[in-house]
Structures are given as structure tokens and as C-alpha cells.
Structure 1
């Protein structure tokens, strides 16, 4: 039956039972497994944040001149010398008003309790089944997966490792067939191979890892629940670190993108560290290349000071790489291919309907550690992409296309729409709060009852025109972080998935955490990032003038243990919510509710999961946990449909002290099997 994922307010007895059953939540203890940190991001949180800027905060400047709150209440306009477009700010909007009607429409499940089980735990009355696991064949003539007999040739035709973002696109008008597209973010070699020697990986192991990165496209039969993979579907495809990509947009052909293997700077090999993404109205998938920095070796041997500064701003430093790929392929060695890192960190566009098509890297959307990109289409068919740069003290971005989208799915419309992300304006966000003098880093709610304020989008470049002093347009696109530094953007707490609401147009951003907020030498708390040593993250809500430069904002959630006074759940009674920490991916169901998957719930001592939260009416902020993923796993890439929900359980069993020789999980195959990242379907 349809998976209607909403419920009514629980009874007082049910609330009491949930309070009694709640497991203890140790505040500010626990962390993600260090092995995950090493292989996913090079343990970047143990290093100094690569953003060294000391720009004065716009909110600080305003507060020195006038009483900001009085100004906003009066609706006045402010102009500050040196603050770009400051005169365009408008007063902060209040939270969305309560609307009459059934609270929590569609959320008819009983929340699961926080737990540490080695299983996917779903609400009573729901079923689950594995759709696809790492190593499962997705192309013909591939042997069934054998953990102890892996080969690069087989992995190139099997489902890749550590699936993250997931999308389902229709293949027919009846709804019986679809395509599923998945990102494969990274490999954890200690869990891929028995007896792995991190100092001396074999060439076979390295080539398997190259094939396990990238993306997968697979056909689905939706005739019955759960969806079934069609192994011989003509659309099935693997994209790996050796798939050819086309570089498009204003930086394509730049000398900054040329290498000994590509003197034109217009073709590159592969995609990696693909995290979140989005689906375009014209039927393509956008995928974000994130933590590419630690795949490259010998940054410390680069002599040119400008190049070294640019590398360091993206976190490239030191000698040998984590995986030692430079021993087997020259492009991973910066002493031989110094521009190769510049060919990663882009938004990638893939056409799943054409398995022969060449994927594209979209340079107009800037180069950063992209979590992903999601689109909003205005009433006059302008296309706007929202993006986050997932690292401590990095920024929020948007891109506004020059051309308008052509409606429909005709060949002519699709050809035109595939060019929309080639030309437009790239912006970065600056936020200021309306209670700046009340923010002390404790997370205490301001006297006006909300964390909120106004903001502006600062233009960085438009096609061949740069708006950043001292930087050409090509430099803005290739070294976008440096351009945003120069523009005075607001440092955020790890901006991850950023997605516009399909009905209201409001934009929601998951800010995962930032343990360095407010520490010595680092940016202090501000109203958009209100806690020092922020271990639990927050969810930001924007009301944006999508093609303009002004917006208002508020925090929907300040995550963590509901009993912690520094948390905020949209004004909802915190005794009735599910505890949530480290928001990562966001999406929406057809009823308009926000769904959040989490990364690093170890911060509260339990497994990660998928959560639902209404955005309107009396239930606004009522967070409820729909499912949890197995021990050591991260919940990723949720897909919400009426007939089923998909969730990616990434890196199951990744806990410190475990590896392929000593597994901490045997999910999903049980017995004495090794853990395998998988896509799970859940339905009622």
C-alpha cells in the first residue's frame, strides 16, 4: 500500500512512554569513526580550517554603527562603506504563519527510538528490503560478487562503493519502469580488502578503488514493492575515475585546467567524492564533487607561491597521499600534473537516459567542495541553482542562469535546457542577524524568539566578467573559495545539502556542525551559527528573491539533545521530538514536509537515521525519526515517494578498531559476511 509518511500529535500517554524509553544522550561526547574521517575527507577536522580570512563580519560592522534591531523594525535602509550592495537589505520576515488544517498531514508512523542496532530499524507496520548492494552486478556478463575475488574489471560493471545521493527518474508513462542514479562517494580500503597495508597498496587494489568511485545508473522495475533492479536494462551504466568528462562553461579551455594529458583544458577523466546532488526538470542528474583534496600527493614540493596558496585554500598539503595512487598514475602527483586538482570540485551533469552521452563538469557553478546542487525554476522559467561548500567556515552559493528553460521533454527542449548551466551569474551569501548583540555562543534564543535576519547575494562573476578585484573570471570559477573570501561572504558551519521547497520556493540548508566555531583564532558565533564548538549543527531556512540579491532567513532547527537548552526545534515542544544531530541531506515529500538524513549521530551516542519535520502550522518543528541505519553507517540520499522510500546506508560497520579482518557489522548479508553499503527500500 502507499507509504503515507505522516502522523498526528501523540497522546500524553504515548509521550510519557517515549520519555521513559528514551536512551540517555550524552551531551558533547562521541564522534564519527576516525577511519571514516581518514578515507572520506583526509581527517580534515583535525587540521586547521583552510579558510584563513579575517574579514570583518557585516553584522559586526552594522552593529558598530547603529542599533540593528531598531533599524529593521523601522524598515529603514542602511549603507555601509565597503559593504557591497548593503543598501538592498530589507527587514527580516517572520516564521511562516500557522495554517489551519490537519497537523502533520501524511506522517502516519510511530517514530523509532534512537538505537545502536546493527540493522535498519523502521516503524511498526513497515517493511524493508535491499535494492542494491556494493558489488552487485548491474551489467550483463559479470560474476556475482565475491569479497575475496575482487577485480577491477568486475568492479567496473558492478555497483560501486559507499553509495550516497540517490535519484529515481521515470522511464515510462505508466510508472512501471524507472532509472535509479547513485553517487559512490569514496572507498574505505581497510574495509574493501583483507590484510590491507596502507603504506603499500597493490596496483590491483588501487585499480579496484578507481572503479568503485563515481556513479551508477540502473533500471528499476516498479511493478511491485519493493523496486527490483533490471540488470540488462539498456540504460545501465557505470561512471568511474576513468570515464571521460567534458568541461563546459566560462572556465573551459583555461590554462588553469590544462594538463600534460589535456593541453586544451576541455576534457578530464573521472569523477570522485561525489556526495549529494539533484534532478533537473529536463531529466538530468547533478552530482557534487566534494573532498578531492587529499587524493593528490606532493603539494609540499610545489615551489610557486601563488599555486601553493591556491592549493592550500582547498586543503591540499603534505607529501604522499592517503591512498598512494600517485605510485600507479602520474596525474595524482602534483609535481607532474599541478593542475589536475583544478579538474575536480565541480558540479557534474549526467544524462541517465543516454548511456552513450559524455558527462559534463559545469564550470559556471564554481569550484569548491560541492555537497551538491538543487534547482528552482521561477515563474518566468529562470533557473537558479543552490549549493553548499562542505567544510568548516565555508559558504553558501547560488547560480542564476541567463537563459530561460523551455518546457516539455521534446528533443529540442532538452537540447536547449542542457545549455542552461553554461551561462549565468555566480553569487555567494552574506548573512546578518537582527539580534547580533545577544549572540554569545551559548545558543540562547534571542529575545525576539528566533534566530533570524537578512542577507544578500554578492555577485562573483558573470560569464567572462569578474566582479572580484584582482581576479579574472577564469580565476573566480577555478578558485571560487578565494573569490568568496575577497567578497566578504559569511563563514558557515559546514553547508551541505541546499534545496528549494517544490511548493513554497523557500530554501533549506543543512549546516552539519563546526567544532571549531568560536575557538581561538577562528570566527565567533553569529546569529546564523549561534553556538561555539557546534557539534550538532542546524537547519537554515531562506525566503529568497531567487533571481535577485536579497533574502531573509531564520533557523528552523538548532540540533542536539532536546533536553539541552541550546537546542531549538522551530518553537515546537521539545519534550515530544526525536533527538537529531548533524543534518546532512534534505528533501521533501509531496505533502510539503522536510526530510533530513544525518551524518555522525555518534555525537549523541546512537545510529544515524532519516527524520521528518513539518514546516507549517502547529506541528512546525516536530521532528520525528522514521528509520535508523546500521552500526557505523550514515544515512544518505533519501528518495520519498508514495509507494516506497529509498535510503542509502553508507559505510556500515565503520567503527574504530574494525576492518575487513575484524568486522564490526555483518549487515546486510548477515552470517560471517563483511558489511556492504546498500540502497534500502522501505514501504508500508
Structure 2
């Protein structure tokens, strides 16, 4: 699908983290404007403060040739340039070809309303907000949405995607199943008149609630050369939203801290909120992380003597939901907020199954959870807590995986050990940010290792428990994923503009870090059950002309600019794919999807594969193969000042007048 490259006005520059003010409001409840929740005195391993000059000098020296050759091809647009100015001939240049089978595209100016893919590729929407899932579901009608319709239509802002190809019959290769998160809503873009939270009607609030959660749909395609498309009325289609019942398992199930008026046993929770990234289990289920759940709760007048609400960013405010459901008022239902912030597991193959919230994996702002197996067959789950100065976690199951025993395997995340990461730098000026680390125990063999906290307290207030054992404060750890080819773990540190020069360390080497970085972890012995590891930063993001950037040692004259890495994924060869969230506010480019080889002659050669439209974020990439990629295009047209009457993006260009978040399929023409 091709679209005109429309240059549109960008009304304001971003908040300090690189996002528009509208994104900050709805994505995370203006987290950057709030005090940093982590006020613990955990040390920054500050040997780098003294050694940092020589270390960064080494990085500069290592990339000196690149710093002097060809940088104009990727230079950041001047701040003095008009926002709508077309890129220069040099700025429009694309990266040189690579062994990946495509030529990288040039960065797209942040005001362009178009999806761009490499030469030889095309794209098409698979499913968009409001598309009907069931046989009797009404078609999307922007001006006549109802709560009942929205509960049976695709949810709003799509994020993590999980694609499972195959089906019965001779046409099985052209059938599949797609599941994706619906993280949050842009209320002002969903209804005419751009109502504020106080102006939303009760019905509009119900529609907003119904647009959150998870969407599952069967998909099909005509042949290997055509794009995937959702199937209305598919037998496995399902919508999970804020009123869907969830079971609770693990050590904190039934805790007095999870009990409410509607659930006096603390074992049944309605809904899931702010589902961001996720992961696919070895037994084929879908994991989803509840991230910025705090913003939905109004804590006005709620006591917080022990600082638990503050540590989770739960303050006065909210989204107005307490007007229609008391459970979103912390005063009315003080434990309801403890029922969110978990990892959720869903069986996408069974639309009648009850999804589960796993308390054994801890409660924090989960970006997601990704799994792999240890040498002895246990499940290891890696998780990032998406907050400035928060932590990276690992869960190890008590029992082992059994091939083909789905019933057994679906209990593996119910019991196990929970750890948090502490990193140390090597301090040597070797031209790399690297070092060693250990997994600090929070719960082992069913026993709390946190002084003064019980097992259920550690799991319900995991942030406070981790504060006590001294892990490393990271720069917004988001997606943390094992590479199925080389066995290493890759974590996206999106950014942290609040870090001061006195707080830099080797794992977080930049103050006012607005561009972020990606860190590689190697578990000792190559065993995901190990409790020690080595680590190395493989990407220091930003414009290649910045001497502090680093691309795993590759010549910086041949790489693309990148900022705010968010999600990571891998192809069958183990190449690292990275999607971004925040480039319009940091580099003045549209967010994008990149690929960076981790081995061979092209190691570190970052190239841009795709860019999304004005105001949108690139989310949840699934790399099917070298010819086929699925991407979630979240919040198109999310620009301050945008309204249904002042539309900034027409994506996905279906002619219905309003932007619609969509999951898209980028595919090579002719399937080769």
C-alpha cells in the first residue's frame, strides 16, 4: 500500500523525554512531570564518574574515522530549520546495502504522514481500531461508537504483537492467529469536540474502558504474495477489556492486600490495564505486561504514610473512571490498585479460557515478560520496569517444562524464584561500556530474602522490596528479550533525562540521557538459570555525528540515526530489530523500525527498515521471516493540538477521516 508523503504542521515540541505533551498525558500520566518514584539510596557505581572521561574518549577515538567521514548523510536537522522543510539531498540519502537483503531507508521528517518501507517492499493494514471481530459486530462508525460495539471491535492503541502462522487443511499456510495489546486511548482523538476528562460522558468513559486490553483475531491471506488480513467471525477471535474476569495465582493470590468489596477473597480481578509489551511462551500462550496502570486511579485524599502509593506513582488525578466505577478511587477501594501491575497470561487458542494474573512474577510497571529455558529445563522470564531509575528482573520457575504438556506448562509461572539485577563496571578504558553483574534474590524457594517483608509483600510491592537489596538504577528498562540464536539477553534502555552527571555509571553512561541505549547480557556458562552474568552496551543511540554514540564498533558513516529504543525482536539469524518511541522530539524524525546484525562483517551496522506516520510510535515488531514483518502503529496523529476536527494523520488511509491505530504487515513484493 502506498500513500502520499504529506508534510503537516507539528504544533509543539516534545516534553523532556522526547514525546508530545498528548503522549505524556495518555501514555504514562505525565510521568516526566512527576517526582522520580525511586528515592532509594541505592548506589550508582560511580567509578565511571572519574573514569568516564577516558572511557568516552576511547569511544570517540574508536569511532574517529567514522566521525570524520560522511556524517552529513545522517545529520540531525537544524533546530533553526522550518519544521515543514523538506530534507536536503544529503539528508535524504539512504544507507548502503547490506547482507540483510534490503537497502535501508533514510530517516523520515517528523511531520510526514506516511508509512515508508524499503524498495521492493509494500505494506497494508491487517486490522485497525474498531474493526469488527464477530459475525454480528457492527462496522466501525466514528460518530456512533457504543460500549457494546467497542467490546466486540479491535481495541485502540496497539502495542505488542504475537503472530502464529498455520491452520488446518490444504490452505493452512495462509491462515494464522494474531494477538496484540491495546495499551491506552487518546480520549481527545476518539470523540468530537476534544473533551477533557471532566467533559467526557459516562458512555464515552465506558467506550474508553472497552477500548483497552487485548485483541485476538484469526487472520488469512490469499497467497504467499499477499498481505495478512483479519477475519471477522473467526472461531478464536476474542476481546479482553476492563470488565473481563481474570484469575489470580501464585503466592499473593488471596492476599488481604488484594481483597475488595466485589472480591472479598482476592482471587478474581476484572480487567487488565495499560498493556504494553509481552512475550510468547514455549507452550504457545500470550504474556502481556500491565505497565502505567497508576494513571487510572484517583488517590485524592488517600493516606500514604508508608509511601507505597508514591513509589508506584499513584497520586491525585486519574482518568475520571472513578465517576462510573468506585474501584478506581483509592479512597473507596484502597486495594484495587494492587490488583494491577502484573504479568498476564492468555491462551489465544481457547477463547473460553480464563486469563491469569501471575503474582509470582512481581508487581511493577511491566513493559513485558519474555521467556526461555534454562539448562535444566526451567523457565526463565526477563522483565523490565519502565520507569526512570528502576530495575531489571528475572523469574525462574520451580518446575520444569514438559514438551507437549500444555496443562502442566501453564502452571510454570505460578511458582518460582524472583531476582533483580545489580551491574558493576570494569572501569577500564577499553572502548566499551561493559562489566559483570549478579541477580540479587528477592524470593528463593518460597522464602523472602528481603528483610522485614513477607513473600506476598515482596510480590505486591516489588519496587520497595528491590529498593532494599541494592540493584542498579537503570535508564527506563523496557523490552528485555533473549536472542534465540546466540542465547544472550538484550534490554532496551529507552532514555532518562533526569539522570545527573553525578549519577552516571558504566551501565548508564550519559547524564540527561534523551536517546537511550541497548545492553547485552551474557549469562555465565550460557545458562539462563545462572545467577551471575557479564554485560556490554552494544548501542549508544543518537545521531552518529554525536561522538558519544556507539554502534557496536561499526563505522558510523554507514549507520542510521536512532533514538529512544523501546522494543527489541530477532529474526531467524539472530539479528537485532529495534523499534523506537520518541524520535520526533529528539531527532525530529518519525519513529521507526531498525535492524542491527550482531555477528559477522556487518556487526553493528544499524539500518532503518520502516518508518511510521506523523505522531505515531513503532511497537511490537514480529519478524516472520526475511520477507515479512508485522508492526503495530500506535497513536497515529498524536500531536499536541490534534482533534477530530484538526486531523494530523489519516493513517491507515482508508478514507474514513480519522486516524486509527493499526497492526500492519510489511512484506516483500512477489514474496521473494
TM-score (norm 2): 0.86
Q: Which of 631, 653, 657 is the matching residue for 2:614?
A: 631
1:193 aligned partner: 191
Q: 1:176 Cα shift?
A: 2.8
| Secondary structure of 1:196 counterpart | coil
Question: What do residues 486-526 of structure 1 show as CA deviations (whole Å, max 9, x unaligned)?
Answer: 0101000000000000011100000000000116xxx6111
Structure 1 position 534 matched with structure 2 position 513: yes
Question: What do residues 145-193 of structure 1 show as CA deviations (whole Å, max 9, x unaligned)?
Answer: 1110110010001000000000112343743321100100001100011
Structure 2 Cα separation of the partners of residues 227 and 589 of structure 1? 19
Give 1:64-75 correspondences, 5 Å limit. none
2:233 aligned partner: 232
How many positions carry a matched residue from both structures?
600
Is the Cα contact below 8 Å between 1:463 and 1:473 reproduced in 2? no
Is the Cα contact below 8 Å between 2:132 and 2:232 reproduced in 1? yes
Q: Which of 306, 322, 325 is the matching residue for 1:329?
A: 325
Q: 1:56 Cα shift?
A: 2.6
Structure 1 Cα separation of the partners of residues 446 and 261 of structure 2? 25
Structure 1 Cα separation of the partners of residues 304 and 100 of structure 2? 59
2:87 aligned partner: none
TM-score (norm 1): 0.85
Is the Cα contact below 8 Å between 1:250 and 1:463 reproduced in 2? no
Structure 1 Cα separation of the partners of residues 396 and 98 of structure 2? 33
Question: What do residues 422-445 of structure 1 show as CA deviations (whole Å, max 9, x unaligned)?
Answer: 11100000001111xxxxxxxxxx
1:85 aligned partner: none
Q: 1:200 Cα shift?
A: 2.3
Is the Cα contact below 8 Å between 2:102 and 2:119 reproduced in 1? no
Structure 2 Cα separation of the partners of residues 169 and 492 of structure 1? 33
Is the Cα contact below 8 Å between 1:392 and 1:494 reproduced in 2? yes
1:427 aligned partner: 419
Q: Displaced runs of 4+ in structure 1, greater than 6 A?
A: 26-30, 61-64
Structure 1 position 668 matched with structure 2 position 666: no
1:110 aligned partner: 104
| Secondary structure of 2:407 counterpart | helix
| Secondary structure of 1:371 counterpart | coil
1:269 aligned partner: 270
Structure 1 position 374 matched with structure 2 position 370: yes
Q: Provide the alpha-carbon RMSD of the alignment.
A: 2.1
Q: 1:671 Cα shift?
A: 4.9
Q: Which runs of 5+ in 1 are unaligned?
A: 1-25, 69-102, 436-445
Q: Which runs of 5+ in 2 are unaligned?
A: 1-12, 56-96
Structure 2 Cα separation of the partners of residues 272 and 406 of structure 1? 31
Structure 1 position 613 matched with structure 2 position 596: yes
- Tell me: CA distance 1:292–1:384, structure 2 relative to 1, closer, same or farther (3 Å): same
Structure 2 Cα separation of the partners of residues 132 and 381 of structure 1? 37
Q: Which of 158, 177, 180 is the matching residue for 1:179?
A: 177
Structure 2 Cα separation of the partners of residues 131 and 469 of structure 1? 50
1:81 aligned partner: none
1:397 aligned partner: 393
Structure 2 Cα separation of the partners of residues 401 and 27 of structure 1? 41
Is the Cα contact below 8 Å between 1:428 and 1:459 reproduced in 2? yes
Is the Cα contact below 8 Å between 2:48 and 2:506 reproduced in 1? no
2:358 aligned partner: 362
Q: 1:662 Cα shift?
A: 1.1
Q: 1:63 Cα shift?
A: 10
Q: 1:228 Cα shift?
A: 2.1
| Secondary structure of 1:370 counterpart | coil
Structure 1 Cα separation of the partners of residues 281 and 232 of structure 2? 25
